[in-house]
A and B are shown apart, each in its own frame.
Chain A
């Protein structure tokens, strides 16, 4: 029995000859932190017209039609956000109109991170957790367009509708966006 224990004990230290070694930078990069989320997204808005459009309904004003095809001369077919910054009854609306297109991205990450060094000395003093949103390197826009306008009414179907378009923006291509967005509570705990 004792011999057995001795033999086992003799071999025990050999299990521990591998000491803790620092991981190389490239090794560390392969280590995935737990609790993080990797997101990809693809959103298409009003590619084929807006929800209020119904050309077959005779009571719908012609200004608000469903045909968003390339051949159509009707441009008013996207989503619409109308904001009233004043007294609703007596003031007009700031409008983001004709919002349509496709946004897609891949590689957005979401995780928490403890920062206690780096940031040119700020990290040590900060010593806290942040929510880190890793921006996708590339956001793809597919025929995204919108119009900035001023309008007298919230909806084009309202009586007395009158709108002044200020500018139209059209984006079709990639936008490069790199870096991390860090969010954290501020104030004095």
Chain B
């Protein structure tokens, strides 16, 4: 059957389209590009400095009461030599409003943010005041701004810092005047509730049940830095703890008839321990099998003159820097009360503040009894 003029005109576009379609269908097979290996120069630009860790929709729960079974910590004795066993009834990590661990399983929490994750990183010690060392840093989410949570009011003082020593002038913290809530990278849904309930078993029978609960915990800005310094592991620790409430209470052996809770409300702890390799923190076990926790001494950091002061020079300047801007510990508890007692009633201990505590030497060693 031959096509006549008009029919041919009508079918031409369709035939052309079919041809184009076939050509188009054939096109992908003409693409010769393939996966190619990345060159070294490209790879070098990918600077994965560390490993970010985020726990998404996280819930953790363990314990004898929560999941059945046995969960015990033993090895302790009371004063009369009877073995004391901690039976963990419940240990949980969940989102806020856990209601003392009753709302855990369906109350997940995100720990860390994609933009502010927990981070494990090898860092150059030269940037951190730890000269010529590679430093392993384990860090909690960064603060949004690198500032203290505490806003303080200061006063000028001229006094003897120590009886018999010379008079010195300077500023001293008078009180905590406010809080800087803009430092937190953890948002409301990213603060965890965690707690532990345990039974004290003395001589195999339950004696008492104790509970600790922490609400809305954030540890933004905390880190541990570890490096090898002269045949041992040295560390610098920055521990920031913020929580809306810490609660302790004791109940009877079956976990009922609980007494009044002791509440620590609005807690802020910012503790810096150690100052790079200048004042390292070490954790060791002594040759006779006891542990020893040491925050390095400042003794001998400068050459002293006849009156016991530092001889002027770089060593002295470094010490001045240490005292002025070195590691400090600041702690604030908004309110301590028993059983929710209101302010200005018995059972309410008001607020407490520790500011500018500087650990200049610390040695803790265990001993056998």
Contacts and interface: CB of A to CB of B under 8 A. Distances in A.
Contact of A170 (B74, B110, B114, B283): B74
Interface in B248-279: none
Given A90-B287, A166-B75, A169-B73, A178 B108 contact: yes
A87 interface: yes
A114 to B, nearest CB: 12
Interface in B27-65: 45-62, 64
Contacts of B75: 147, 165-168
A184 B69 contact: no
Interface string B270-299: 000000000000111111111100000000
A189 interface: yes
A179 B58 contact: yes
Nearest to B71: A171
B115 A126 contact: yes
Contact of A123 (B7, B114, B283): B114
Contact of B54 (A93, A175, A182): A182
A173 B59 CA distance: 17
A85 B67 contact: no
Given A85-B285, A86-B233, A115-B114, A187 B68 contact: no
A122 interface: yes
Contacts of A176: 59-62, 66-67, 105
A48 B69 CA distance: 21
Contacts of A182: 52-56, 114, 117
B108 A170 contact: no
A70 to B, nearest CB: 14
A185 to B, nearest CB: 3
A166 B121 CA distance: 31
A168 B49 contact: no
Nearest to B86: A167
A1 interface: yes
Interface string A8-20: 0100000000000
Given A91-B287, A150-B289, A175-B67, A85 B232 contact: yes
B48 A186 contact: yes
Which of B70, B282, B289 counts the most A-chain CB atoms under 10 A from its CB?
B289
A187 B44 CA distance: 13
A42 interface: no
A156 to B, nearest CB: 12
A174 B62 CA distance: 7
Size range of the interface on A? Answer: 35 or more
B49 A180 contact: no
Contacts of B282: 85-86
Interface in A154-174: 162-174
Size range of the interface on B? Answer: 35 or more
A139 B187 CA distance: 29
A188 B47 contact: yes
A7 to B, nearest CB: 13
Contacts of B69: 141, 171-174
B349 to A, nearest CB: 32
A186 B58 contact: no
A125 B14 CA distance: 48
Given A150-B291, A151-B289, A175-B62, A184 B52 contact: yes
A162 B121 CA distance: 36
A183 interface: yes
Interface string B107-127: 010100111010101000000
A184 B51 CA distance: 6
B192 to A, nearest CB: 12
A31 interface: no
A147 B7 CA distance: 93
A165 B48 CA distance: 41
Given A115-B114, A122-B114, A187 B49 contact: yes
Contacts of A164: 289-290, 366, 368
B285 A92 contact: yes
B48 A86 contact: no
Interface in A82-116: 84-88, 90-94, 115
Closest 7 CB pairs of A and B: A173-B69, A187-B49, A185-B48, A92-B285, A179-B58, A87-B231, A86-B284
23 contacts: A86-B284, A88-B231, A91-B232, A91-B284, A92-B285, A92-B288, A119-B114, A120-B187, A150-B286, A151-B285, A152-B287, A163-B289, A167-B73, A169-B72, A172-B69, A172-B70, A173-B68, A174-B62, A176-B61, A178-B108, A181-B53, A186-B119, A188-B49
Interface of A: 1-2, 5, 9, 84-88, 90-94, 115, 119-120, 122-123, 125-126, 130, 135, 141, 147, 150-152, 162-189
Interface of B: 1, 3, 7, 11, 14, 45-62, 64, 66-76, 105, 108, 110, 113-115, 117, 119, 121, 187, 189, 230-233, 282-291, 366, 368
Given A115-B114, A176-B59, A185-B50, 18 more contacts: A86-B232, A86-B233, A86-B282, A87-B231, A91-B287, A92-B290, A119-B113, A125-B115, A152-B288, A162-B288, A170-B72, A172-B69, A173-B69, A178-B57, A180-B55, A185-B46, A186-B48, A186-B49
